[in-house]
């Protein structure tokens, strides 16, 4: 009898350990099956729009994507890896100007296998012969949806607004601004900007402003 009780106890313990392992594994994955950290994700399925594979979510803290396509993620200054909140006031804002002609890999906050898009890659997203874009609301969040005309695949970018070079927040819910890796003239940088009227590329974003990063695959 004692031997049977020990045998039963062993299998009961084995079953409990298996259940705990399943629960742990399910909690460490996001909906796409990628590894997750505190509600953010270190990987992304990506979507190809006009030949460029874009992440489906903004960069959150360095090395991680936001949990959902509608999430703001975090703001970054050009060629810097320090992340800033996309809501409320912030303290310790860095108003100095970064150096360089391109966003250096060591300063790229994108998760492994991803990077800040080039100027040319943003231009491909804005190619109206191959990509259609519309102002829309997705799960209650304003933004712009880009649709590959050939495949029907879509990419949603939330209108998060931006932080001025003094750290103050502006245009949340109305403007979307996203860095490219390419500097233009003086202390300015090429970037993607959109609102309800349309989307375009400018070369006048100041480096110490804070805006979003939407990565492309390396």
The model's pLDDT over 29-61, given as tens digits with 9 standing for 90+, comes to 333 334 555 578 899 999 999 999 999 999 999
Distance of CA 208 to the CA centre of its chain: 19
pLDDT in tens, 99-152: 999 999 999 999 999 999 999 999 999 999 999 999 999 999 999 999 999 999
Determine how many CB atoms are found less than 10 A away from the CB of residue 196. Answer: 12
**Lowest-pLDDT range, 21-30, 112-121, 165-174, 201-210?**
21-30
Q: What is the pLDDT of residue 35?
A: 55
Average pLDDT over residues 7-34: 37
**12-39 mean pLDDT:** 41
Distance CA 88, CA 80 (A): 21
Q: Please give the share of the chain, as a percent, with pLDDT higher than 70.
A: 83
Mean pLDDT of the chain: 87
pLDDT at residue 17 tops 70: no
- Which segment of 24-28, 49-53, 140-144, 210-214 scores lowest on mean pLDDT? 24-28
Question: What are the residue boundaries of the structural domains of the chain, listed by start?
Answer: 1-30, 36-217
Residue 22 has pLDDT above 50, yes or no: no
pTM: 0.83
């Amino acid at each position: 009898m004692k031997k049977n009780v020990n045998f039963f106890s062993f299998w009961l313990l084995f079953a409990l350990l298996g259940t705990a392992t399943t629960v742990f594994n399910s909690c460490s994955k996001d909906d796409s099956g990628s590894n997750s950290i505190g509600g953010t994700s270190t990987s992304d399925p990506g979507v190809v729009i006009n030949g460029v594979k874009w992440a489906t979510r903004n960069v959150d803290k360095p090395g991680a994507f936001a949990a959902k396509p509608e999430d703001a993620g975090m703001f970054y200054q050009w060629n810097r890896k320090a992340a800033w909140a996309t809501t409320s006031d912030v303290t310790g804002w860095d108003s100095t100007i970064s150096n360089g002609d391109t966003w250096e890999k060591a300063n790229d906050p994108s998760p492994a296998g991803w990077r800040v898009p080039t100027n040319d890659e943003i231009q491909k997203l804005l190619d109206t012969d191959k990509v259609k874009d519309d102002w829309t609301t997705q799960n209650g969040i304003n933004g712009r949806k880009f649709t590959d005309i050939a495949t029907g695949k879509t990419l949603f970018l939330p209108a998060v607004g931006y932080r001025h070079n003094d750290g103050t927040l502006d245009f949340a819910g109305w403007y979307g601004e996203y860095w490219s890796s390419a500097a233009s003239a003086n202390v300015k940088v090429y970037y993607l900007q959109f609102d309800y009227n349309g989307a375009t590329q400018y070369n006048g974003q100041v480096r110490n402003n804070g805006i979003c990063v939407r990565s492309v695959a390396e």
